[in-house]
Amino acid sequence: MIFNSILIANRGEIACRIIKTAKEMGIRSIAVYVDADKDALFVEEADQSVRLEDGGYLDGNQIINAAKEAGAQAIHPGYGFLSENASFARKVKKEGIVWVGPSANVISVMGDKLKAKDLAMKAEVPTLPMTSKPAEAKNIGYPLLIKAAAGGGGKGMRIVNSQKDLKESIISAQREAKNGFNDERIFIERYVEKSRHIEIQILGDKAGNVIHLGERECSIQRRHQKIIEESPSPRISKEIRNKMGEAAVKLAKMIKYESAGTVEFLFDDKTKEFWFLEVNTRLQVEHPVTEEVTGIDLVSEQLKIARGESIKFTQEEVEWNGWSIEARLYAEDPDNDFLPAIGTLIAFEQDERADARWDTGVTSGTKVGTDFDPMLAKVISYASNRTDAAMKLAKALESAHIGGVKTNRDFLINCLKSNAYIDGDTTTDFIERVNPDRKLILSEDQLDHVLAIAALWIQQKNRDESHVSKFMPSGWTNGRLPNRRNIFEYEGNEYIVEYKQNRNENFIFSSNKCATINSVDSNGIDMLFDNKRHYSKVTLSKNKILIHMPYGDVMLDIKPRFVIPGMEVTAGGLVAPMPGKVIDVKVKKGKKVKAGDTLVILEAMKMEHSIKASEDGTVSELLISLNDQVENGALLMIVK
């Protein structure tokens, strides 16, 4: 069926991505949005948008009604939300609207990982030992991996290293699976500690043709969610690729797969064995790396297949050229166990000179809350070889001006530049084994440079905004006055910056380092400091100043000259590391606890986060209750 209008039942960067291809194909794009997204980029880029009431992106009936009202002839679900909801797919087709994706039956079968494993075994695809009965877990052997039978994205997934942790991990995984997919079923399988996560991109059409577009490696993960992906894999040979591809195509043909999808495998470096994990019946977050190395627009292929066209190329005609790497930029704090972060992006600007693709749904001024996944953007590089692709991606991340919300940007850069990454030593234990720096580490000289830029940009801004004595040279006085003084805070430490200006217009700092301003404007400053010169973008927002350096951004708090004394931190206080909802309180007032015990479980951005005791003690005060909504830094309890 030919269609010329499409509703995107999703949000953020994937909605923007689908809109882009729809425009290129001459298809009218219709967005749906909730109030939290009313100013979002995807709403602005769509040809038309429809506001959703309560239920939002998970309310299938409301989305179908929106499609009818807007005259949408097709619905693209993106990924997440209702993309793997078989009931929703059936309703869409029942209403005479084209569904961009595989059939509801395939979604139903493949969305159930237990049924998918059964089909994989029938297709003679290797699978890992597993059970859905906790009592049989010991027969598999530890460590184990608990997985939700429905859904993905790391939700409902737990690694269990010993018998004593099994019960609590199952309860937590079931609860998270219930909240994420409305299905609390879990299963347990063998956990391969040092392996690679390899997935094969497939395309199938209504005529029964199925081909694969090679592999992606997605082994670098935190909280079982991928953060760096690439194509091809640095360790998969042509022979293994062919075997995996043949297995994926065989399984896809067995289930009569249509549209784009992914067959995921686990690969062991040592034995060269691979095992089936699951089939994702949707577009993947990391699909751009496949697009870059094959030159095939996967969204375009989805839309063509949905309107009944056959795949226009054969397996033999698929070519893989060069290397592509994708990094997922998240609003999170890697230095605090990668917990989600919230706030307002005071700057979000890519460097147009950097050779990289940015798939994003945010801009400067976007508010990042707790309602949705904290991914801000996918940044994708392409080069003729892997090393160049890694360096180009690191450079693109470094050269972007981003701040206001904590992100994993510096951590991603450190991963990409590590020797282990460059050598292709990227098994699933990469983060724990390599342990790249989780934040930007500044030398004393670098920090002096940043502080000097902040101080001189502020003094120039104040001078430009002054309404008196503008004719006088900056810093001129006919008497002896103290040095100029600014106070900044960085990483919890306070820094006093003192400087004076000479008659030759040089600035001398208390560190005896010299600076000269070459040019300055409202957006930044070109300054020579200690014989080092570059132009720094500068963004000021209330009491925060964001300085862009050649190696990334540094955020400083501007401290007032006179500080009103604040409350002291409560001794023994356990505070919330992020805003969220209290979904479980494990202790009562007066209970003795040991270091490492789980005290509270918070839910934020659809994921559970366990707050544990840092030392032995007794709960002397309990300040929260079940279902409380708490802010970042809120006092939860006192343990002494």
* Residue of 291, 372, 283 whose CA lies nearest to 325: 291
Q: Which two tokens stand for residue 169?
A: 């991990």
| pLDDT of 84 above 60 | yes
pLDDT band at 569 (very low <50, low <70, confident <90, very high): very low
* Residue of 233, 293, 287 whose CA lies nearest to 428: 233
Instruction: Please tell me the distance from the alpha carbon of residue 135 to that of residue 119, in angstroms, as a whole number.
Output: 24
The mean pLDDT of 147-170, rounded to a whole number, is 85
What are residue 390's DSSP bridge partners?
none
Q: Read off the pTM.
A: 0.86
Mean pLDDT is lowest, of 206-210, 302-306, 318-322, 475-479, for 475-479
Q: What percent of the chain has pLDDT over 70?
A: 95
Q: Are 43 and 392 in contact (CB under 8 A)?
A: no
Domains of the chain: 5-100 (3.40.50.20), 130-190 (3.30.1490.20), 198-434 (3.30.470.20), 444-558 (3.30.700.30), 573-639 (2.40.50.100)
Instruction: Please tell me the distance from the alpha carbon of residue 89 to that of residue 109, in angstroms, as a whole number.
Output: 13
Q: Which residue in the block uniquely carries the two structure tokens 């890519």?
A: 350
pLDDT digits (tens, 9 = 90+) for 241-292: 999 999 999 999 999 999 999 999 999 988 999 999 999 999 999 999 999 9
Active site residues: 282
Q: Which residue in the block uniquely carries the two structure tokens 């909240």?
A: 179
| pLDDT of 159 above 60 | yes
| pLDDT of 470 above 80 | no
Collapsed DSSP state (helix, strand, coil) of residue 271: coil
| pLDDT of 37 above 90 | yes
pLDDT band at 480 (very low <50, low <70, confident <90, very high): low
pLDDT band at 606 (very low <50, low <70, confident <90, very high): low
pLDDT band at 478 (very low <50, low <70, confident <90, very high): low
Q: What is the CA radius of gyration of the chain?
A: 27
**Share of the chain residues as helix, strand and coil, in percent rounded to the nearest 5:** 30, 30, 40
Instruction: Please tell me the distance from the alpha carbon of residue 409 to that of residue 329, in angstroms, as a whole number.
Output: 6
